[in-house]
Amino acid sequence: MQKSSLVIEKGERERFMQEILDREWEMFQAVKSATPASCQESPETFRKVRGSIFQLWPRKLMAAYLIELTAAKRHGRNLLTEKYARMDNLIPPINTNPVIDKIVAIEAQWQQAIRERYPALYARSCRGTDRTDDGNNFSVYLRSELETYGDTALDIYYEWVEMARRSGMNYSLSMLNHLVLNSGFESIEAAEAFWSKEIDT
Domain limits, the chain: 3-200
Q: What's the pLDDT score for residue 197?
A: 83
Quick check: 40 pLDDT over 90? no
DSSP category for residue 38: G
Q: What's the pLDDT score for residue 126?
A: 75
- Alpha-carbon distance of 23 to 11, in angstroms, equals 18
Q: What's the pLDDT score for residue 135?
A: 47
Average pLDDT (39-57) is 88
Average pLDDT (40-44) is 81
pLDDT tens-digit readout, 130-149: 554 544 689 999 999 999 99
The top-scoring range by mean pLDDT among 131-135, 152-156, 179-183 is 152-156
Burial class (CB in 10 A: 0-12, 13-18, 19+), 113: middle
- 119 vs 197, higher pLDDT: 119
The answer to whether 68 touches 150, Cβ cutoff 8 Å, is yes
Quick check: 75 pLDDT over 80? yes
- Alpha-carbon distance of 190 to 188, in angstroms, equals 5
Average pLDDT (18-38) is 85
Average pLDDT (175-189) is 92
pTM above 0.85, yes or no: yes
Quick check: 94 pLDDT over 50? yes
Mean pLDDT rounded to a whole number for the chain: 88
pLDDT tens-digit readout, 100-110: 999 999 999 99
- Alpha-carbon distance of 104 to 116, in angstroms, equals 18
Average pLDDT (5-22) is 81
